[in-house]
A and B are shown apart, each in its own frame.
Chain A
């Protein structure tokens, strides 16, 4: 949950405030020598590092979003901390630094004006969205399926748009060789603004401030899927029936696939036999064999799928009734 203090700080550092600062620019956009760019590199390296860490959090948000329905409490704990981190650090410290940079670049690069203004606007909108999501997570009713689904969609949309925003920033600024555009003094002035330690930069700090997020980030295997849930769900009769049904349907499709290819082979063989007959009388003579093969195939077409369907039905009516039995069909 986001504290009022944190929200206040975020509001106080809204992107537009920093962006609106007009600072007299001392440099032209003529390229500067590389040795003047140490501060620039440090400043830009930090912004890049922030994006790297944000990517890590966004990936985790996505995974937890998928768990919201199956393991709501665990997912909420992680998501709460992740959103707090995003509100506090991404929107509270990272974006204001970017806004200051964009404000300095704006008079120098008219060609980037629209892009820079739009990026700064995104910062404002995304901060508000993250705060809304954080509040919504706290208010999410336990077991409220539709509300959970709506929330999950909103969360995914936020993740998608944050990614796209990062990508646009990287294309326009981060990887555009921005370092020579400002003087060393200007870069130093930008970097001079105190930046708190990013909790993601230090495992101990991360574990202390965001224990659930730290634990989730350390997981080596991620079910970007329902793997864990499927195991638990398989204990429920309806879920297990669903598993059996799905297996049966897949087997049936495979059987039909096999028959389809067999049918093509048979057709080719029959045509070859009739076409290869030395005379029309020979072709007539081959008809009994063609008929026999075709009849056999038709029998298989009826018998094989029926057999699969019956097996599937018998599995469904079989041991699915016992919820204690975790080694149900299809497992």
Chain B
């Protein structure tokens, strides 16, 4: 391309760039660019407002979910409520979701000694891979129906069956109870004759941290390793956070989580033993992942736990492991479990691709 033409093209691109406003595509769930009318007569604030309104309207499902979460879950987390009150509120919320995911069967065969566990199997689909999934909920609460629906859709996308482990919760059962349940559930899969290279550990939020902790424990015990791990917005660091971390910077922007009572929650998990905060099974960001299988992280760009994923992935790579981080624009914590969001379906498809990549 001649220099003058190149300059012209660059100039055009720059001019166009100044006119465009990023919006989210409601149909595909991916950020698109809307090249709005520049309307030079409009002042800056009016143009920004118009762009904001357009952006909200284009991705109305995410906007609505964020609004709902901001008005309910986040407010509940900010208020001084007991664990019992939180569990009651979650039970009420859970009634909105079906107990059994569509086109899946739920069975309770192969019980675990210390906790509940279920098999979620898509009807009429091959359970070629096995997903060992740990639910989220800050280690103190859980959303069973929501998690069942999530793993049901994951299984359908990935031709998998899921072992959903309802590990013991704090404060009644502090660490290592839940961790032991997770590792024991993996051992059970091996004992059932399931090939380890068809197994993926997965978890949402605190369940993601538990999955990574279990991965380290499995490696440390010298057991055959799973094919990989998929963690969704995992909690990987229970230590104090720095002022420049996402826990501080995204505190206001996160639509779901508020860490105002984070200190109490983490104390519950370790049973008041502060020395455990840096234990790799509690805070997997401190683990050594040499020899560990690949890990996929999915996290929203506005989440307070964004750095948990970034730092854990850095740590995995630094210690010889393989990790990939997907940072999703503006997605709320646990969006994969919200079936009405277009981005949830996409995230699940990408997880299924990851599973196919590592267990063809």
Which A residues are within 8 Å of any B CB, using their own CB?
Answer: 45, 48-49, 51-53, 55-56, 58-59, 62, 65-66, 69-70, 72, 142-143, 145-146, 148-149, 152-153, 156, 160, 163, 166-167, 170-171, 175-176, 220-227, 229-230, 233, 236-239, 241-242, 244-247, 249-251, 253-254, 256-258, 260-261, 313, 316-317, 320
* Neighbouring A residues of B126 by C-beta, 8 Å: 170-171, 175-176
Interface residues of B, count at CB 8 A? 66
* Alpha-carbon gap, A175 to B48, bound state (A): 52
Q: A153-B27, A153-B28, A245-B49 are in contact. Are A221 and B125 (CB under 8 A)?
A: no
**A152 interface neighbour in B32, B71, B72, Cβ under 8 Å:** B32
* Alpha-carbon gap, A98 to B344, bound state (A): 31
* Alpha-carbon gap, A182 to B258, bound state (A): 59
Contact (Cβ within 8 A) B353 A58:
yes
* Neighbouring B residues of A223 by C-beta, 8 Å: 301, 327, 329
Contact (Cβ within 8 A) A220 B317:
yes
* Alpha-carbon gap, A229 to B23, bound state (A): 12
Contact (Cβ within 8 A) A143 B329:
no
* Alpha-carbon gap, A257 to B77, bound state (A): 12
Contact (Cβ within 8 A) B360 A48:
yes
Answer yes or no: B157 CB below 8 A from chain A CBs.
Answer: yes
* Neighbouring A residues of B349 by C-beta, 8 Å: 160, 163
Contact (Cβ within 8 A) B31 A66:
yes
* Neighbouring A residues of B252 by C-beta, 8 Å: 247, 250-251, 254
For A142, A225, A233, A257, the residue with the greatest tally of chain B CB atoms inside 10 Å of its CB is: A225
* Alpha-carbon gap, A49 to B355, bound state (A): 12
* Neighbouring A residues of B51 by C-beta, 8 Å: 238, 242
* Alpha-carbon gap, A149 to B326, bound state (A): 22
Which B residues are within 8 Å of any A CB, using their own CB?
Answer: 9, 12-13, 16-18, 20-22, 25, 27-28, 30-35, 44-45, 47-49, 51-52, 55, 66-67, 70-72, 74-75, 78-79, 125-126, 128, 157, 159, 252-253, 255, 301, 310, 313, 317, 323-331, 346, 349-350, 352-354, 356-358, 360
Contact (Cβ within 8 A) B47 A66:
no
Q: A241-B48, A254-B252 are in contact. Are A224 and B12 (CB under 8 A)?
A: no
* Neighbouring B residues of A49 by C-beta, 8 Å: 360
* Neighbouring A residues of B357 by C-beta, 8 Å: 52-53, 55-56
* Neighbouring A residues of B75 by C-beta, 8 Å: 257-258, 260-261
Shortest A320–chain B CB gap in Å is 7
Nearest CB in chain A to that of B324: its residue:
A220
Contact (Cβ within 8 A) A156 B30:
yes
Q: A233-B22, A245-B48 are in contact. Are A253 and B67 (CB under 8 A)?
A: yes
* Neighbouring B residues of A239 by C-beta, 8 Å: 21-22
Contact (Cβ within 8 A) B360 A51:
yes
Contact (Cβ within 8 A) B350 A225:
no
Contact (Cβ within 8 A) B33 A145:
yes
Q: A170-B126, A170-B159, A250-B253 are in contact. Are A149 and B32 (CB under 8 A)?
A: yes
Nearest CB in chain A to that of B122: its residue:
A171
* Alpha-carbon gap, A145 to B15, bound state (A): 12
* Neighbouring A residues of B356 by C-beta, 8 Å: 51-52, 55, 166
* Neighbouring B residues of A53 by C-beta, 8 Å: 357
**B12 interface neighbour in A52, A142, A156, A163, Cβ under 8 Å:** A142
* Neighbouring A residues of B125 by C-beta, 8 Å: 171
Nearest CB in chain A to that of B313: its residue:
A220
* Neighbouring B residues of A72 by C-beta, 8 Å: 13
**A242 interface neighbour in B28, B48, B78, Cβ under 8 Å:** B48
Q: A143-B16, A253-B67, A253-B70 are in contact. Are A225 and B159 (CB under 8 A)?
A: no
* Alpha-carbon gap, A45 to B197, bound state (A): 14
Contact (Cβ within 8 A) B253 A247:
yes
Q: Can you pick out 11 interface pairs between chain A and chain B where the beta carbons lie within 8 Å of each other?
A: A52-B356, A55-B353, A62-B30, A142-B12, A145-B35, A149-B33, A156-B30, A225-B328, A230-B329, A238-B21, A242-B51
Shortest A45–chain B CB gap in Å is 8
Contact (Cβ within 8 A) B327 A242:
no
* Neighbouring A residues of B30 by C-beta, 8 Å: 62, 65-66, 152, 156, 224
**Besides A62-B350, A152-B25, A153-B25, 19 other A-B contacts (C-beta < 8 A):** A55-B353, A55-B357, A56-B357, A142-B13, A163-B352, A163-B353, A171-B126, A175-B126, A176-B126, A227-B301, A233-B22, A241-B44, A246-B55, A250-B253, A250-B255, A251-B252, A257-B71, A257-B75, A260-B71
